[in-house]
Structure 1
Amino acid sequence: MKKVMFISSTGGHLNELLQLSPLFKKYQYTIVTEKTDSNVSLRNQYGNKVFYLAYATKHNMLKYMFVFPFNCLRSLYLYLKIRPDVIISTGSHTAVPMCYIAHFFKKKIIYIETFANIYTKTVAGKIVYPIADHFIVQWESMLELYPDAEYGGWIF
């Protein structure tokens, strides 16, 4: 059974990622997200299959400057601990280091660009697009921005 890591930032990205929960039954899965008060309860539902990264946003750049490098190291640790065959992500910045780590180890990366953007690229999408094995957009209009992407429709 393939090991699949589902990773995203908290909030809307995590909400989109959890829409893929029917896939969890088909794989040996793990979920990685940022630890916040609103999602600490994921452990109640998914048990030891949930791992957390530190939470920070670019709105507080001072904190972010320390948390992002920490999350890069924590991502490497989690990757080496879990050894996934596939990374599936709905973004955002939290997932970028894990995608590059997986790319370094020649593992498959499936990136789903957020539903929230219809006409503009996300920063994470721009960064992961060149290395993703499958880059999926949820709006047909996004195919103009990501010509090699696959239109997958909404995951809601």
Structure 2
Amino acid sequence: MTCIGDLLKTGIALLIVHFLFPDKINLAFAGLGLILGHCFPLWNKFHGGKGVAVAALLSVAYDWKAGLITLLIALFLTAVMQNLTIPPLVFMLLFSIYQLLHNLEAGIVFLLIALIMAFKFRKDIVDFFAGRGKKVDILRTLKRKLGIKA
């Protein structure tokens, strides 16, 4: 339910920016503000989420082809690695690099977003490389939800 709320507030904010300030780069800057507000909310003593849902919707809104491709890569990595720490960071880093190659200003903004996400994931990254990372088998979970027997 939290993810749906994050996606709704992100989507509404991006739509408002799109209609009021139609230049595409404004979506990137709005996204940076959304990530900062999501990850470091004032009303929660600067303890917020990790920004994955916000970054995912932002990337698709900014460049739907690159956003979907990088999200599919992250989904594949999640299935293979059985981990929820590294794939979102790889997704945002790949998206940032792609944007750097096409629009330096946007690429820098998305790279800042990737760095913020990495900061929020810092403990999970340490746990992952120490072998203490939480395993998540999304394929088994999906099969179970769909009633498919393995």
Which TM-score bucket, shorter chain as reference?
0.3 to 0.5
The alignment's TM-score, normalised by the length of structure 2, stands at: 0.33
Structure with the higher strand share, 1 or 2: 1
The alignment's TM-score, normalised by the length of structure 1, stands at: 0.32
Higher-Rg member (1/2):
2
Structure with the higher helix share, 1 or 2: 2
